[in-house]
Structure formats: structure tokens, C-alpha cells
Amino acid sequence: MPTVDEQIALEIEMVNAGIARYEKDRAKLEERGLASKTKHGRALISSIIEAVASQIKQVQETPTSNRDVARKKLADVDADKAAYLALIAAVDGVAKRYTLLKIARAIGMNIEDQWRLQKWIEADPETAKNVLRLAEEKSGRHHKRRGLVHKMNADGHLTGWSNEERIFVGLRLMDAIIVSTGIFELRLMTTGKNKTTTYVEATPETLNWIRSFNESAMLRRPRYVPCIIEPKPWEDVWGGGYYSDVINRLPMVRAH
């Protein structure tokens, strides 16, 4: 007959299985260039998005030269949406160790798509909303984007931005992220004879935060299995079921 010691050993295995699953899911997303969808990526973005949006509003409201391409392009874009889209591209790009220019272009493309969608909805709301609904049924952010851009191009709805315009916007938003949050820093690296390239990297403080977050989060997600002995009695509404301290204290009634 199973013993309490065997039950505790099972609970330790549950925690280890949860850690393995957490790390596997995280690694899979990062390999696909979707670090923004990891647990730590989502937590990071949600914690700083307001600061970035506030900085973007300052960019939009501060008068500058008539030749300020980035400010002109950002004028009609919602600052909160711009902050979210910029952070997604930045977090994904930094995890893949992309150059500043490559990340800036990705940010610019995200903002360009949002700008075109806004204008499309204003000009032809019925068609735009139907296409958006169909796009939501597709899996994958990039797959959805390709479908929407293809439809807008096919209908001749607004000319897309030039590559230079995307980069101008992306650089301005990357600067807004760095200034308002300090989570990233720029680093010049020698990539050839007399040639340097600028990369965006997470600061040591950010890396420490990510490490601590993941170490804590992976322990909170064990792979639960049934007890092999009679569950531990509940003396209160919390703390029954499993026996060891490695498992989070569970409520008597599961609720959201």
C-alpha cells in the first residue's frame, strides 16, 4: 500500500514535471521568435506599457521640424496600441539578438499595419470588420498579418510606407521604450574590419528580473496528478489535498 513518503515523492515529481513543461513551452516560443508571448514577456510588457504609451504621447504632442517623418506617421495612431505593438516587436527582436535597424523596421511595420487598418476601418468599416473577423480565425500573428496586408493591397487601400519611413518610426519608438523604461540598452559591436553594428540588449537588471520571474513561475505550475493515498484533510478552506510544502496550498473549492 502506498505510503506518505511515496506520496511526497510523487508531489516532487509533479513539480519537476511542471518545471520541464514550463521550460519547454518557453524555449519553443523563443525559438519561433515569440518571446513576447512567454510568461515573462507578457508580464514585462504589461508592467511597462503605460510608461511607453505616455512617452509616445509626448512625441505626438511635441512640436518639431516639419521634416520629422516619425512624428507625422505617429500622429493618427493610438498611443496605447502603438506602445503595445512596439513592445511586442522589441521583446521578440531582442530575444533573437537582432540589430537595432532590424528591430526598428519590425516596429515600423507593426505601426504601419495598425495605421492602415485604422484608415481602412474609417473608410470601409463593413468590409474591414468582416476581413478582421476572418483573420482572427487564422492561427499565428504573422499569418493573420499576411492575410490582412494582402487584402488591403489587393483593394488598393492606401499605399504602404517606404522602408526608410518604417525605420524612422521604429527608431523613434525604440528610443521611447529605452527612455521611459530603461529595460533595454544599445551596444555597439564590431562586426568586421572598421565596421560597427548597433544591437539592442536587455540590461543586466532586466535579465535578473526575467531570471527571477521564471524561477518563481515555473515552481507555481506543477503537473497535477491524483494522490496515491487518501488526500490530506482540509482543516480550513486552504491547504488540503497534497502533503508536501513543494506544492502550492490549494483551495477546497476551485474557482477563478
- Mean pLDDT calculated for residue range 141-156: 65
Which of 41-55, 63-77, 144-158, 186-200 has the highest mean predicted lDDT (pLDDT)?
A: 41-55
* Three cell numbers written together for 114: 495598425
What pLDDT is recorded for position 147? 64
Helix (H, G, I), strand (E, B) or coil at 211: helix
State the chain's maximal CA–CA distance in angstroms. Answer: 81
pLDDT over 90 at 184, yes or no: yes
The residue-averaged pLDDT of 135-158 equals 65
Res 63 pLDDT > 70: yes
Lowest-confidence segment of 12-26, 103-117, 242-256 by average pLDDT: 242-256
3-state secondary structure of 223: coil
Residue type, 210: I
Q: Quick check: pTM over 0.85?
A: no
238-240/195-202 β-pairing:
unpaired
Tell me what the pLDDT averaged over the chain comes to: 87
Residue with grid cell 548597433, as numbered in its chain: 198
pLDDT at site 143: 59
57 by DSSP, 3-state: which? Answer: helix
Question: Which stretches of the chain are assigned E, i.e. beta strand?
Answer: 184-192, 195-202, 238-240, 250-251
> With contact defined as beta carbons under 8 Å apart, do 223 and 231 qualify?
no
Complete domains list, the chain, with CATH: 4-247 (1.10.1320.10)
**Which of 27-31, 143-147, 178-182 has the least mean pLDDT?**
143-147
Cβ–Cβ under 8 Å, residues 47 and 81: no
Give SS3 for 35.
helix
pLDDT at 235: 77
Angle ∠(22,26,28) on CA atoms, nearest 5: 120
100 forms beta bridges with none
DSSP-derived 3-state class of residue 135: helix
* 205's grid cell: 537588471
- Residue written as grid cell 510568461: 39
Tens-digit pLDDT profile for residues 192-242: 777 899 999 999 999 999 999 999 999 888 999 999 999 888 877 777 888
Q: Does the pLDDT of residue 139 top 70, yes or no? A: no
3, three cell numbers: 505510503
Tens-digit pLDDT profile for residues 78-123: 999 999 999 999 999 999 999 999 999 999 999 998 888 888 777 7
Cα–chain center distance at 5: 41
